[in-house]
Copies of this chain bind each other. A is one copy, B any other.
Amino acid sequence: MEPANGNARGRAVIRVLLVHDECLVRSVLAEWLRREPDLGVYDTPWRSAPGRLRSLLPDVCAADLECADSYGLAPLGELGARPAGTPSPRLLVLASANRPGLLKRAVEAGALGYVDKEGSPEHLVRGIRRVAEGKRFVDDSLGFGFLKAAEMPLTRRELSVLSLAAEGASVAEIAGSLHLSHGTVRNYMAAINRKTGARNRVDAIRISQGEGWL
């Protein structure tokens, strides 16, 4: 369905690109949003999102933070990429308080809106309208998640080490990839275990993935 450029009341339509990896959920959510006369809604899975953003130039990009691609994180950074001279879309994310690492990544990607997936769907509509005006929208219920995100104990370097470990890389491979000595990688792993309260490397990966840090 191609959204029109205006509605019956003559108000400008907010062009929204909805990004979600499950087709069934995405279709129902898009259809639900299309009942709002001021929203023009397109939808896409993550893998096609950067291309669709460039071709559609939406006002708001509303993206689910979970990404179905093999254990991958949503490529949030790419959502900001735009041809020179065109305005960036306002980014709104569908998030949950128990994945603080994902919230942190959304903040770093410059997201303006944060809608709690544990909340009411009406918040999504309100969030889209706020963000389209260039204003911040944050669900109160995400507060604890932001607090935990702020307390995220690992440094960027430690996260790089742990990400490689989570992909199954050995100490030698991690050392090679990051141009570090074996001893330094072992020191990083020890620091990671201590900071996350993990018993060993597998446990640190499990904890960090559960928190959405990896």
Q: CB of A120 within 8 A of chain B?
A: yes
Q: CB of A154 within 8 A of chain B?
A: no
Contact of A23 among B24, B29, B119, B204 (CB under 8 A): B119
> How many copies, total?
2
Q: CB of A79 within 8 A of chain B?
A: no
Asked if A206 and B168 make an inter-chain contact with CB atoms under 8 angstroms apart, the answer reads yes
Asked if B166 and A202 make an inter-chain contact with CB atoms under 8 angstroms apart, the answer reads yes
Q: CB of A209 within 8 A of chain B?
A: yes
Nearest chain B CB to A148 CB, angstrom units:
14
Which residues of A does B touch, CB under 8 Å? 22-25, 27-29, 31-32, 68, 70-71, 94, 96, 98, 115-121, 123-124, 165-168, 170, 198-207, 209-210
